Structure 1
Amino acid sequence: MIHFTLYSRSYCHLCDDMLAALKAQLSGRVADIRVVDVDADPALIALYDELVPVLMARGRDTSDQELCHYFLDAQRVEQFLQDEASSVRSG
């Protein structure tokens, strides 16, 4: 299964927009989306404060990787999904 983590914060329209766009792009696909409030953890604020929203992804054989921040990069997300599908077919 593919896991997405969206580092976000309350009252962030860019965060809401990215989550909505990601859900639309994933329509019909199996994936887990976890939304994490960066303001709940000082370490996350230090990492992502000015970059929020930040979308991370982890596939079957990958560690977390940043796909985009501020706005959804639909092409990068699609490439990640295709790469994961290829690794499942070949593995």
Structure 2
Amino acid sequence: MSVPRVRLYSRPGCHLCDDARVVIARVCADLGEEFDEVDIDSDPELLERYGEEIPVTLVDGAQHDFWRVDEGRLRAALAG
């Protein structure tokens, strides 16, 4: 099983996370990529690191965006 190139760090009840999920799902579907999502509330280290920045998007393991996902920028990162 391959590791998705895109990861979304989120938490329940976060409206920015809901918005980010829609953009990420659309871009990944268009480009044939997969993404996964991790609830930072389930991991104390993630909560400490990303608690004030969620949603956080990682591409290929590196932080790409936080708070908002720029669709064009995400597409470019995945295509490049």
Per-residue CA deviations over 1:32-78 (Å, capped at 9, x if unaligned) read: 211100011110011100000000011xxxxx111111111223212
Q: What percentage of aligned pairs have identical amino acids? A: 29
Deviation at 1:25, TM superposition (A): 2.3
Q: Hey, what does 1:73 align to over in structure 2?
A: 70
Consecutive unaligned residues of structure 1, counting only runs of 5 or more, are 59-63, 84-91
Contact 2:28 2:35 in 1 (8 A): no
Any runs of at least 4 consecutive aligned residues in structure 1 with deviations exceeding 4 A, and if so which?
A: none
Find 2:39's aligned residue among 18, 37, 40.
Answer: 37
Pairs aligned (count): 78
With CA pairs under 8 Å and 6+ residues apart, which has the higher RCO, 1 or 2? Answer: 2
- Quick one: distance in 2 between partners of 1:12 and 1:47? 17
Deviation at 1:26, TM superposition (A): 2.7
> Which TM-score applies when normalising by structure 1?
0.77
| Structure exhibiting the larger radius of gyration computed from Cα positions | 1
> Which TM-score applies when normalising by structure 2?
0.86
Query: Residue type matched to 2:53 in 1?
Result: L
Consecutive unaligned residues of structure 2, counting only runs of 5 or more, are none
